[in-house]
A and B are shown apart, each in its own frame.
Chain A
Amino acid sequence: MSHQPRALRAINAGQSVADHATRLEGLEKATGAARFGRDQIKKDMLWVRLIRCPWGRASLDSLDRDAALATPGVVEVVVSGDAGEYHGDSIGYLVARNRRGLERGLQALDAKWTRLDCKTGILDDQEARAPIGDPSKEAAKAIDAADFSFEASYSTPVQTHSSLETHGLMIEPDGENSIVHASTQGTFVVADQIGRFLGKRRSKIVINCEHVGGGFGSKFQIGKEGAAGGLAAKTSGEAVYSFCDREEEHLDTGNRPSLLCKVRLGHDADGTIRGARFETFGGTGVSRRGGGARVPSGRFEFGTLDARNHRDVQFNAGGPRAMRAPGCPQGAFVEELLIDEIAHRCGLDPLDLRRRLDDSERRHQMYDVAADLIGWENRSDTGSQSGTMRTGYGIGTCDWGKGRAPAKIEVVVHPDGHLEVRTGTQDIGTGQRTAMGALVAARIGVPLANISVAIGNSRLPAGPASGGSVCTPSTAPAAMAAADLARERILSGVAEREKLDATQLTIDDGVIMEGGRKVVRWEDACRRLSEPVSVTGEFDGRASAYWGEGSSEGVQAARVEVDCETGQVFVRDVIAIQSCGLPLVRKTAESQIMGGVIQGTSYALFEEQVLDPGTGAVLNANLESYKILGSEDCPRIVPVLWRDDQTGVRALGEPPVIPTAAAIANAVFNAIGRPVRDLPLRPDRVLAALAEPMAERVVAVAPRTTDRETRA
């Protein structure tokens, strides 16, 4: 809007500590100057590539190691296995002087495999295919006592993280040390893990991850590619470059596991849910665990519950890793669509039913604002539209815990007034670097221009990995403590020299003041320092005066259009309201929310790893066939930072990805009058749903509004 201040979303004005701060490394990234791990390319370095199984399950018949070793450029071939349990499983690795050497070496290796029978999904499991089991005695009693019973089954696909920078690391010798340039979301995790492969003590290893090209939960461990890289570096003593290619990234670096959820519940005519049984099956590939889903979430009242019925189902595919709010978007999809189905059966507005089942006061306020911003009053009754293009509105919700971890932040005050904020934790695009800089600047009272942030190096003060949305909540108290120490240090010097009371001094925009009187500029006060002064703030992961109050809750509303001839779903608008305690930097916080919505939209509409049932091969292990949301698919998103009077910094990374797919699925249900209970909401599924009878109503009600047809 033209009257808005440049780059300010007026709706979020005043909500954050630093409304106008821009990402500190923004220009570095926009000019290509930012060097990621994958960019650490040396003329003389060894390249590593894993030897991988091409089928869902296969045994190795033969390979020609001598031929591979005789290939120009090939340095070493290490084969340590003779069978693969999934497409992408590794049996060894190849080391070469260059990229071509790797390619030719793998060709010359000429691995011959015998394909074996394999399982390719949750439905290969007999119990998963069976009808839902009997509820527990208590739940059965509650369900039977209800006016109506309802049964349905929901599923979600395997989603791959698809970080644009693939997993891997580059290791270079530096005297007796090794510098490891890693694409990781855990600087100190890599430092702990790589040593045993490198054959080096922790003190001789330096991790650098100044810039990381995406990490959504899969980059905590060094992975096989990292282990092979470490071994090659140990053996050769040379610089080693070991990164997955795009196909390997899809096959063997984790995923959000698939889910099958069966539900049986009893509800009354007014929508009250008396009792329910949930059965969940997580598709964990070859892993034995990691397939859990958070359903029901606890946000809604389900009466007497029989819900601890989870089983992980193994089959021949790569295993899961944590992915942005593990288990939550899939759980929310089931739960929120279920609630909308009940609302429809009872002739209720799904927002009204949510207000009844949800006891969070903050979310109740968010429901009102979300409804207002999305234009809920324009919503037609579910199934009341005809015509080709039908419009739907849907709601989804989220919450997140208050996890925390130990963290240290060092602030160095230089005699020229410059402040260096030092933290070893990583910025994977979350804005961690900017958040720390802006928080220290605001806390001391100097412009952000006075600050630089050193981040992403194991030689810097320790901090948490970027997981569980605990990083900023944990580093913020440490940063506040460090900033206060630095501030006190300078102010006490000024007070002493000027014979003033230090407690009466304030710092405003780089000027030290007493009441309304200017005492001295920050830079001039710092000039009195004979050397840089270092202070360290520490958060022990449990208690801190800086922890404060706050919680992460959210409501999202989506507006979609469904083309009922093609089955295509267009997500037009998403209102994303999110509380995260005290937001630090408005722009990067908005970016986090929008990123969650976009990944959630992508999950709702497009993403799905496809295994060939015959061979177990992954059929879409690249970005042209594993579709993620692109610019043409992107909805209009309104990120709303919801602060209230919260004082503590809370989780923001994960919660906004939770409600989006649920809200979109509900909007599609609203538009076409039939639920699509399987993600992604593919055109074929929408068309199949349209061929079904309209969703049942068990309570007769007069239509709230007249038929609103096709709104363009």
Chain B
Amino acid sequence: MNRSNERAISVTLKSIRLPRFLDHPQQHLDLEHMPEDSSPPSGPSGSSPKSDVSRRLFLQTIGISAATVAAERQAANADAVMKPGGATIIGPMPARTSLQVNGRQLDFIAEPATTLLEALRERCDITGPKEVCDRAACGGCTVLLDERPVASCMMLALDATDRKITTVEGIGTIDAPDPLQEAMAEFDAMQCGFCTPGVVTSAKALLVRNPRPTLHEIRAALSGNLCRCGAYPNIFNAVLVASGQDPVAEPTDRGRTTSGGHA
């Protein structure tokens, strides 16, 4: 059983909401020949191997038992091995991986089980995407894959090698912010700011596919992004204004019944 299978089972168990203490597959892994992760090499890499193990396949089959998924994956591997000159099998050894992030090519060596989020944060020093729940419940790790928002904690780095990845850092910078990021700051659409990179990324994806979203559409698009401090109303306003619309209407005075409270 290889690392991908291990991860698949682990993540599947997560997805069916078992407590973590049950999250230990009974199978014992053969770790004898596993070297430790090595540091990423500098400079451009050679040819980047393609994963034949599709994480997307797994994502589509959430709900199927772990055993089924594992079996499918093993079959996929076996199939690949049998094809002369066909796809390369990745792992269990750490493998050279190459990602296109924010317009740059980043090369590193990691185990095939490394998630995209781990690769970005721990290998590429891109820490905008946050690890919050590590199971796609909160949106803190949201990145754009081409133009689609995905939870980078639920995807293997190897499955993103041929995609254009954009993190919050790639949407804009302090010196050259995106209008959405400016509106987020202007409307105080954050408090602690830990959810903010994910929120910006999801909202950016919304604006790309729908340049003038309604409040209803904004709420729906951000429903996967949890904010604990409670900045939602300001986030909605920031997205509305970033798309050239008015913020949500507010009362303009304190009513007719009192003179209290005026400055």
Interchain CB contact under 8 A, B263 and A15: yes
Chain A CB count within 10 A is highest, among B172, B218, B247, for: B247
Interchain CB contact under 8 A, A598 and B230: yes
| Interface membership of A54, Cβ < 8 A | yes
A107 and B257 CA atoms in complex are apart in Å by 66
Interchain CB contact under 8 A, A247 and B251: no
Contact of B185 (CB < 8 Å), options: A22, A372, A617: A22
Interchain CB contact under 8 A, B122 and A41: yes
Interchain CB contact under 8 A, A29 and B190: yes
Interchain CB contact under 8 A, B229 and A214: yes
Interchain CB contact under 8 A, A365 and B263: no
| Interface membership of B246, Cβ < 8 A | yes
Tally B residues with Cβ within 8 Å of A. 91
| Interface membership of A298, Cβ < 8 A | no
| Interface membership of A36, Cβ < 8 A | yes
Interchain CB contact under 8 A, A100 and B37: yes
**Contact residues in B for A588 (Cβ distance below 8 Å):** 188, 191
* Residues from 583 to 601 in A contacting B, C-beta threshold 8 Å: 587-588, 590-592, 594-599
Interchain CB contact under 8 A, A619 and B19: yes
**Contact residues in B for A430 (Cβ distance below 8 Å):** 191
Interface of B is mostly: loop
Q: Can you list, as one digit per residue, whether each of B207-218 has a CB less than 8 Å from chain A (1) or not (0)?
A: 000000000001
Q: A98-B36, A373-B251 are in contact. Are A630 and B241 (CB under 8 A)?
A: no
Q: How far is the CB of A56 from chain B (nearest CB, A)?
A: 12
| Interface membership of A412, Cβ < 8 A | no
Q: Can you list, as one digit per residue, whether each of A174-189 has a CB less than 8 Å from chain B (1) or not (0)?
A: 0000000000000000
Q: How far is the CB of A202 from chain B (nearest CB, A)?
A: 27
Chain A residue with minimal CB distance to B245? A2
A642 and B171 CA atoms in complex are apart in Å by 38
Interchain CB contact under 8 A, A30 and B200: yes
Chain A residue with minimal CB distance to B126? A32
Interface size band for A: 35 or more
| Interface membership of B150, Cβ < 8 A | no
Q: How far is the CB of B114 from chain A (nearest CB, A)?
A: 8
Q: A30-B190, A372-B256 are in contact. Are A245 and B223 (CB under 8 A)?
A: no
Interchain CB contact under 8 A, A2 and B246: yes
Interchain CB contact under 8 A, A643 and B169: no
Chain B residue with minimal CB distance to A26? B185
| Interface membership of A25, Cβ < 8 A | yes
Q: How far is the CB of A164 from chain B (nearest CB, A)?
A: 4
Q: How far is the CB of A312 from chain B (nearest CB, A)?
A: 27
Q: A27-B177, A214-B192, A365-B258 are in contact. Are A594 and B250 (CB under 8 A)?
A: no
| Interface membership of B98, Cβ < 8 A | no
**Contact residues in A for B135 (Cβ distance below 8 Å):** 246, 622, 624
Contact of A100 (CB < 8 Å), options: B111, B188, B251: B111
Q: A10-B250, A39-B121, A594-B234 are in contact. Are A25 and B34 (CB under 8 A)?
A: no
Q: Can you list, as one digit per residue, whether each of B169-197 has a CB less than 8 Å from chain A (1) or not (0)?
A: 10111100100111011111111111111
Residues of B within 8 A of A (CB): 17, 19-21, 24, 29, 31, 34-37, 39, 111, 113, 118, 121-122, 125, 127-135, 137-138, 140, 167-169, 171-174, 177, 180-182, 184-197, 200, 218-220, 222-223, 225-237, 241, 246-258, 260-261, 263
* Other contacts beyond A32-B169, A617-B19: 13, CB < 8 A: A30-B180, A32-B128, A97-B36, A100-B111, A163-B194, A164-B132, A368-B260, A369-B255, A372-B255, A622-B137, A629-B230, A640-B261, A643-B261
In the assembled complex, 20 residue pairs joining A and B whose CB atoms fall closer than 8 Å, in A order, are A22-B185, A27-B174, A31-B172, A31-B173, A32-B127, A41-B121, A99-B122, A164-B130, A164-B195, A246-B133, A247-B19, A373-B255, A588-B191, A594-B230, A595-B191, A597-B230, A623-B138, A631-B225, A638-B250, A640-B254
Residues of A within 8 A of B (CB): 1-2, 4, 6-7, 9-11, 14-15, 22-23, 25-36, 38-39, 41, 43, 54-55, 71-73, 97-101, 104, 107, 162-166, 211-216, 245-247, 362, 365-366, 368-369, 371-373, 428-431, 577, 587-588, 590-592, 594-599, 617-619, 621-625, 628-632, 634, 636-638, 640, 642-644
